[in-house]
Structure 1
Amino acid sequence: MQITTTQKITTFLMFEGDAEEAMAFYVSLFDGAEVVGITRYGADGPGKEGTVQLATFSLAGQQFMCIDSPAQHDFGFTPAVSLFVQCDDEAELDRLFAALAERGTELMPLGDYGFSRKFGWVNDQFGVSWQLNLSA
């Protein structure tokens, strides 16, 4: 397995069986986004055959890595670490918020919170936390 990124520091997302579904969903949300590379577990494990051993994908020029963890764990994603997206216009912000909130959880509904004229915070269906901000 040899998947690398061009960045020195890369956000790494650990899933338990739905890494590929999450990655495909995220790539569908951003123009120019793509799956850069993917390696899957084989029949000899240690993960379930066909699940993501390691993948790299790119969103808005930023690379991310993800896996399907072969180990069960008692923790998941937390809003204490989130992906912050500067949206160019309200249409982009509204579209992303609606897509990410579907089957997810709104932490802060879209609104004017003083620090931004339009901002929203959501945990998506996979538990990843996203802050969406309308650029000035």
Structure 2
Amino acid sequence: MSKITTFLMFDGQAEEAMKFYTSLFKDSQINHIFHSEDGKILHATFTLKGQTMMCMDTSVKHDFTFTPSISLFVTCDTEGEIDALFERLSEGGQVLMPLAPSPISQKFGWVTDKFGVSWQLNLSQ
């Protein structure tokens, strides 16, 4: 496991989010889930494109959620991959920057998904 691991806190949607994310990325899987008695996730680990991540469902109602100030930056291998990820991640979410060439990328796009998590998608030149 990495010494620094991305940790996502959801409000009852952690398992749905993990299943969604692992269905999108190759080399991905849910590694471990520890449920509470009411079915919420107390702690879980999953892997996306070989990168270990963690998540949980909060049991406390907070006045905050995810923000685009922190995002997951994904380097895509092909144009087909970036197009498919952009389409699926933006469904029910919000496009922050549409897919387009950039000075440092063949194609780049930024979305917030239906769970509120921000994703920067990059296809290097």
Task: Check whether TM > 0.5.
Answer: yes
Structure 1 residues not aligned, in runs of 5+:
1-5, 43-48
Displaced runs of 4 or more, over 2 A: none
Match of 1:31 among 26, 29, 50: 26
Report what 2:2 is aligned to.
7
Counterpart contact for 1:110–1:121, Cα < 8 Å: yes
Among the aligned pairs, what percent are the same residue? 57
TM-score, structure 1 as length reference: 0.90
Instruction: Count residues with an aligned counterpart.
Output: 125
Matched, 1:133 2:90: no
TM-score, structure 2 as length reference: 0.97
Q: Deviations over 1:11-62 (max 9, x none)?
A: 00000000000010000011121001000011xxxxxx01111100000110
Matched letter for residue 111 of structure 1 = A
Counterparts of 2:3 and 2:65, CA distance in 1: 24
Q: Which has the larger radius of gyration?
A: 1
Structure 2 residues not aligned, in runs of 5+:
none
Matched, 1:103 2:92: yes
Match of 1:55 among 35, 44, 50: 44
Report what 1:121 is aligned to.
110
The structure in which a higher percent of residues are strand is 2
